[in-house]
């Protein structure tokens, strides 16, 4: 079987995936493969299904038709393997979603001790290592409510990284941030990309996309309308809808 | 350019205490009049109460004869009869057991107020052991203590027992009910909702009567247990239904992203519930949760009606004989003070928590 040998290097493959919310056809005939170590930026107008697409990859949403294969395992109703996949896929949300009743350090150690069964000491060492990496080790004893948005988002990234994921998903990680905090988060994401992490980012930060993305995917009305390398996509979009979208976000 | 020093941050201008006082109390002639009137009234009442309770009162049992001449309280009745109020019909020579049991339970209640102990395992352990010791001391039958069955328990000890048992049974049940009502399966959610709303729409009295008097006709003998336990189970279900709604309100306020973050980290259902959902739900609705405990403590007095000798009923017995019948006011004041100590400290604690958690949150 050809698919099996390919599974080694495929991080994600989606074959003719369809999804509905009630009667609303939110994802339409999605075909997409993402290789190990590839960095993909997903963009498109509001409501086009970008969030839904990446939420399907970590099974926060169910799809109704088609096959989604993540790290060689098919996502279906089998609960045991779903939990296993979720551990390998990190997700960073627009609203950070840190646990407000735990310190930064506890946010980072919780899943390590419960899911990875690490000792508390070991988990704390790993957490501090990643907090260093996102450049806020000094905040480890604070609560999320005491941090700025940019700091919270970096903690959220560190929290995901502590689980040693093979794929990182980002859903508009900078769009809830004040402008002066965007770059501190993007810097962390760039260095993560440089280390070879497989990344799928929903973002409209074009500078980031040009710098790290291997591929840009443009979605509209639940479809993948265009995929290309970032320079071709941003400089010479082929599709009418991509052109319109780019002209709109470039107006500012 | 103005020098920077003039724009430096400084504290707001302070208003002297005297002028603040003047502004709030003596601003106009009418204000002066009202202030003085209130002050006079207030001091008169306070003086009357202090005089009655402390200055002109009679304290010891032997001085009871003096009570008729004195205008103050006759605390002799408490001196003579406090054991009945505290322990009911518990055998006299075993009162030390009841005393110790109450102290253990009060320590348990106080300890569960410490944030350091707020985890399901620690609180569970604390309450099961605290309650276990309480029960062992009251019931006896081990370590050479004679058996004293619940029919002979009474007074403050019984009130505390009922309160503690209702809390111990009711809290876990309320969590289960709240989770059930939020279940993703519509059938389960509807069933739990129906259960909760059914018991919330019945008066507590009805539930206790049913538990005490009607269930023996319905349940098989081995399931009936002692009347006291049936009443406690009924009370606990009632308590849990209200508490479940408080907890559910706290869960409703948690953004769905919290659960999703737990999911993507690979936490399973119970890990998400115990580590993310419940701690935040409890924090969100602590004031109403504490309030429910306060109400429950006061409502324990209702068990008198199904024939238990809790503190209020024991109070009636305390002044019910011979020369003490005229001193019922003192007995009720005394019981009122006991209730007040419990309830007031609980509600102050609730207010303190509310403040503290607000600061910790953002
Ligand atoms: N749980 C849901 N139930 C019903 N409809 C939903 C649900 N979640 C999303 N939708 C709808 O699906 C469509 C796609 O949503 P999605 O969040 O994937 O868009 P998006 O591309 O991420 O948009 P944005 O840029 O605004 O985040 C939208 O029209 C949205 O209203
Ligand atoms: Mg979105």
Residue nearest to atom 5 of ligand 1 (CA): A21
ipTM: 0.90
Which residue from A20, A26, A60 has its CB within 8 A of the most atoms of ligand 1, so it is best to mutate? A26
Is B163 a domain residue? yes
Is B15 a domain residue? no
Q: What is the reported pLDDT for A4?
A: 47
Cβ–Cβ of B265/A159 closer than 8 Å?
Answer: yes
Q: What is the reported pLDDT for A8?
A: 53
Local structure of A85: helix, strand or coil: helix
Residue A29 token pair: 């005939």
Q: Which of B250, B254, B265, B283 to mutate to test the interface with A (most CBs of A within 10 A)?
A: B265
Nearest to B251 by CA among B175, B195, B362, B187: B175
A94, A107 contact by CB (below 8 A):
no
Is B122 a domain residue? no
β-sheet bridge partners, residue A14: A32, A68
How much is the average pLDDT of B254-277? 92
| Sole residue written with tokens 């009606």 | B305
Cβ–Cβ of A110/B275 closer than 8 Å?
Answer: yes
Is B93 a domain residue? no
DSSP string, B33-79: HHHHHHHHHHHHHHHHHHIIIIIS-B-SGGGGGGGGT-SS-BTHHHH
DSSP string, B179-221: HHHT-SSHHHHHHHHHHHHHHHTS-HHHHHHIIIIIHHHHS-H
| CATH code of residue B298 | 1.10.3720.10
Q: Binning pLDDT at 50, 70 and 90, where does residue B286 land?
A: confident
The sign of the CA dihedral B196, B202, B208, B213 is: negative
Chain A neighbors of B284, CB-CB under 8 A: none
Nearest to B245 by CA among B291, B197, B278: B197
Is B13 a domain residue? no
> What's the number of domains chain B is made of?
1
| Domain extent for B251 | 149-357
Q: What is the reported pLDDT for A2?
A: 40
Per residue in B142-175, pLDDT (tens digit) is: 887 888 888 788 888 888 899 999 999 999 999 9
Is B153 a domain residue? yes
B283 to chain A: nearest residue by CA?
A101
The sign of the CA dihedral A159, A175, A190, A37 is: positive
Is B6 a domain residue? no
Is B78 a domain residue? no
Report whether residue A51 contacts ligand 1, using a CB cutoff of 6 Å: yes
Per residue in A133-149, pLDDT (tens digit) is: 999 999 999 999 999 99
Question: What is the pTM for the complete model shown?
Answer: 0.83
Chain B neighbors of A97, CB-CB under 8 A: 255, 257-258, 260-261
Q: Binning pLDDT at 50, 70 and 90, where does residue B22 land?
A: confident
Compare CB distances from A99 to B258, B264, B268 and report the shortest one's residue: B258
Report whether residue A47 contacts ligand 1, using a CB cutoff of 6 Å: yes
């Amino acid at each position: 079987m050809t698919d099996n040998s390919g599974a080694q290097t495929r991080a994600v493959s989606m074959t003719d995936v369809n999804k509905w919310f009630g009667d609303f056809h939110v994802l339409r005939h999605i075909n997409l493969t993402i290789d190990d170590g590839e960095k993909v930026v997903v963009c498109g107008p509001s409501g086009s299904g970008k969030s839904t697409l990446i939420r399907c990859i970590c099974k926060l949403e169910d799809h109704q038709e088609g096959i989604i294969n993540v790290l060689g395992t098919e996502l279906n109703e089998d609960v045991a393997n779903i939990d296993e996949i979720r551990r390998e896929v990190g997700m960073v949300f627009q609203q950070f979603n840190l646990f407000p009743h735990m310190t930064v350090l506890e946010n980072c150690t919780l899943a390590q001790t419960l899911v990875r069964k690490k000792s508390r000491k070991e988990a704390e060492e790993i957490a501090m290592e990643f907090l260093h990496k996102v450049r806020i080790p000094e905040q480890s004893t604070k609560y999320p409510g005491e941090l700025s948005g940019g700091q919270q988002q970096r903690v959220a990234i560190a929290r995901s990284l502590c689980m040693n994921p093979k794929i990182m998903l980002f859903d508009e990680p900078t769009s809830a941030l004040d402008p002066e905090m965007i770059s501190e988060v993007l810097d962390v994401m760039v260095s993560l990309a440089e280390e070879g992490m497989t990344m799928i980012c929903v973002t409209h930060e074009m500078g980031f996309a040009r710098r790290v993305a291997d591929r840009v995917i443009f979605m509209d009305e639940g479809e993948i309308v265009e995929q290309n390398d970032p320079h071709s996509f941003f400089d010479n979009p082929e599709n009418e809808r991509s052109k319109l979208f780019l002209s709109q976000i470039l107006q500012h | 350019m103005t020098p920077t020093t003039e724009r430096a941050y400084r504290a707001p201008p302070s208003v002297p205490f005297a002028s603040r006082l003047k502004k709030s109390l003596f601003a106009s002639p009418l204000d002066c009049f009202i202030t003085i009137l209130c002050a006079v009234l207030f001091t008169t009442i306070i003086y009357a109460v202090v005089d009655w309770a402390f200055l002109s009162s009679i304290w010891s049992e032997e001085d009871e004869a003096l009570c008729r001449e004195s205008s103050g309280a006759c605390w002799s009745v408490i001196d003579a009869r406090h054991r009945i109020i505290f322990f009911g019909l518990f055998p006299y020579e075993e009162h030390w057991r009841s005393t110790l049991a109450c102290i253990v339970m009060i320590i348990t209640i106080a300890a569960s107020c410490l944030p350091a102990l707020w985890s399901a395992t620690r609180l569970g352990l604390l309450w099961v052991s605290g309650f276990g010791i309480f029960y062992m001391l009251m019931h006896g039958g081990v370590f050479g203590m004679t058996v004293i069955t619940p029919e002979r328990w009474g007074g403050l000890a019984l009130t505390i027992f009922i309160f503690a048992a209702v809390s111990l049974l009711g809290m876990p049940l309320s969590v289960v009910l709240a989770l059930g009502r939020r279940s993703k399966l519509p059938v389960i959610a509807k069933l739990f909702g129906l259960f909760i709303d059914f018991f919330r729409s019945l008066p507590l009295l009805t539930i206790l009567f049913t538990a005490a008097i009607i269930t023996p006709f319905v349940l098989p003998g081995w399931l009936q247990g002692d009347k006291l336990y049936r009443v406690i189970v009924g009370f606990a279900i009632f308590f849990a239904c209200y508490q479940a709604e408080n907890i559910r309100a706290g869960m409703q306020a948690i953004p769905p992203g919290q659960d999703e973050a737990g999911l993507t980290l690979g936490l399973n259902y119970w890990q998400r519930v115990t580590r993310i959902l419940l701690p935040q739900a409890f924090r969100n609705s602590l004031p109403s949760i504490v309030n429910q405990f306060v109400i429950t403590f006061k409502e324990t007095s209702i068990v008198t009606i199904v024939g238990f000798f809790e503190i209020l009923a024991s109070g009636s017995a305390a002044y019910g004989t011979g020369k003490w019948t005229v001193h019922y006011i003192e007995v009720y004041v005394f019981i009122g003070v006991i209730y007040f100590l419990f309830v007031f400290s609980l509600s102050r604690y609730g207010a303190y928590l509310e403040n503290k958690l607000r600061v910790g949150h953002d």
